[in-house]
């Protein structure tokens, strides 16, 4: 599509238009998905509590989210008189925007990714570590004590769980050898015999569980929803918000939940790959498998929300620092040790090392790779490396 636009509109403008359309093709369905996922969340929660859930607006209550959105839209925006006006309005916008931009690097299919960048996973980590700002700024700018407590809790909680998420990602990166999300998905093809997905590997399965639980904590979902614990903090950081600014928080929160579900599916369960590497399954478009995996994960998120009681704050910190951090650290050692023991330690043939140019240097830095070095040098020359 980009080429077609560049052909008709010129290089720069064509690229700009095509990218804009692609962004809209992700963002608009995402908003619709968020509306439906809020409905699904309420329905699943209701079913587990033996209630009916929303069933009045539209068939089976399907239009409930849109009715809620319309209602919120028509309310008055109230800004507390002592609030810091600019930051107060900025906070929901930050939350909402960050929930959207993470999707830029998520691959929906073999060629369906907006930005296929080298550092895709780091980008995701950066976006998820930024999302705490929406909450902190909201809590501080409200000039009210409950939102402020909530902001402090959110800051501590997200920083704690970011650490174990980082180690889980390192294990995945070590195994797949790349930060690129498409590369990570490709590395999962036929990972265990003919099954696609790192999660089916006994060595990586515990990491996928830790990642799932940390994802719950990162998105402040139950049982880690201390930031908006209604029995202690009214509505947490969004206590003072009303109308559209409240709705933006709501949309951003569920957008983040979907992103985390997508990330779970991408990192451990094969992303757009079908579960089994068997030709007929590839007849189904990859995007279908990806959405199916997201929905399964969302169901588990809702399931947890409906069944698990909220953690106490010290228990939350204990879980993050005293249990997840040591386990994930140990697991990084295990995974890298396994890789070291089984995989080729020396650089592959034709790989290009920037600093090693002579045999003596190769001897000094990689003594066990003596035989591979000639290949290395010829590969280096073949690739036309400058020195």
Partner 1 sequence: MIQAAAFYLFATIVIASGVMTIASRNPVHSVLWLILAFFNAAGLMLLLGAEFIAMLLVIVYVGAVAVLFLFVVMMLDVDFAEMRAGFAKYLPFGTLLAIVLLAEIVFAIAAWNAGSIATGVRAAPTNAAVPNIEALGTVLYTRYLYIFEGAGLVLLVAMIGAIVLTQRTRSGVRPQNVSAQVRRRPEDATRNVNQPVGQGVEL
Contacts to partner 1 by CB under 8 A? 12, 87, 117-119, 122-123, 125-126, 129-130, 132-133, 136-137, 140, 148, 151-152, 155-156, 158-159, 162, 179, 314-315, 318, 352-356, 365-366, 383, 385-387
Q: CB of residue 104 vs partner 1: minimum separation in angstroms? A: 13
Q: CB of residue 352 vs partner 1: minimum separation in angstroms? A: 6
**How many CB atoms neighbour CB 276 within 10 A?**
14
Q: CB of residue 354 vs partner 1: minimum separation in angstroms? A: 5
Q: CB of residue 331 vs partner 1: minimum separation in angstroms? A: 19
DSSP 220: T
Of 159 and 194, the one with the shorter C-beta distance to partner 1 is 159
- Give whole-number Cα distances, 169 to 103, 178, 218, 221, 242, in Å: 17, 11, 14, 21, 37
Nearest Cα neighbor of 240 from 92, 25, 123, 118 is 92
Of 91 and 112, the one with the shorter C-beta distance to partner 1 is 91
CB 85 within 8 Å of CB 263: no
CB 221 within 8 Å of CB 126: no
Rounded Cα gap, residues 274 and 189, in angstroms: 9
Q: CB of residue 249 vs partner 1: minimum separation in angstroms? A: 19
For the purposes of burial, counting CB atoms within 10 Å of the CB of 255, is it exposed (0-12), middle (13-18) or buried (19 or more)?
buried
Q: CB of residue 289 vs partner 1: minimum separation in angstroms? A: 28
Phi, psi of 219 (to 5 degrees): -90, 5
């Amino acid at each position: 599509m980009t080429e077609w636009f560049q052909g008709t509109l010129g290089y720069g403008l064509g690229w700009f238009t095509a990218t804009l359309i692609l962004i809209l093709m992700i963002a608009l369905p995402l908003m619709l998905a968020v509306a439906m996922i809020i409905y699904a969340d309420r329905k699943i929660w209701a079913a587990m509590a033996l209630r009916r859930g929303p069933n009045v607006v539209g068939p089976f209550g399907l239009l409930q989210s849109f009715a809620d959105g319309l209602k919120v839209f028509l309310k008055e925006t109230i800004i507390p008189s002592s609030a810091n006006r600019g930051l107060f309005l900025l906070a929901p916008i930050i939350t909402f925007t960050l929930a959207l931009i993470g999707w830029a690097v998520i691959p929906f299919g073999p060629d369906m990714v907006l930005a296929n960048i080298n550092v895709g996973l780091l980008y995701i980590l950066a976006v998820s570590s930024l999302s705490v700002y929406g909450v902190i700024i909201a809590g501080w700018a409200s000039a009210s004590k409950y939102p402020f407590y909530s902001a402090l809790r959110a800051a501590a909680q997200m920083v704690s769980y970011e650490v174990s998420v980082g180690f889980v990602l390192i294990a995945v990166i070590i195994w797949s050898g790349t930060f690129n999300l498409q590369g990570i998905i490709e590395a999962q093809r036929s990972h265990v015999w003919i099954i696609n997905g790192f999660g089916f590997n006994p060595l990586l399965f515990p990491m996928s569980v830790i990642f799932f639980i940390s994802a719950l904590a990162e998105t402040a979902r139950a049982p880690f929803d201390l930031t908006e614990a209604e029995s202690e903090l009214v509505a947490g950081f969004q206590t003072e918000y009303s109308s559209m600014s409240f709705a933006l928080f709501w949309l951003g929160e569920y957008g983040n939940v979907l992103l985390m579900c997508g990330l779970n599916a991408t990192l451990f369960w094969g992303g757009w790959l079908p579960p089994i590497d068997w030709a007929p399954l590839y007849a189904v478009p990859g995007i279908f498998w990806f959405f199916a995996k997201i929905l399964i994960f969302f169901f588990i998120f809702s399931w947890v929300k409906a069944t698990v009681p909220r953690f106490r704050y010290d228990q939350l910190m204990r879980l993050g620092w005293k249990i997840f951090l040591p386990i994930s650290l140990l697991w990084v050692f295990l995974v890298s040790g396994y890789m070291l023991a089984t995989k080729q330690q020396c650089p592959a043939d034709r790989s290009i090392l920037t600093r090693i140019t002579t045999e003596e240097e190769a001897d000094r830095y990689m003594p066990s790779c003596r035989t591979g070095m000639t290949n290395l040098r010829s590969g280096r020359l073949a690739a036309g490396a400058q020195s």
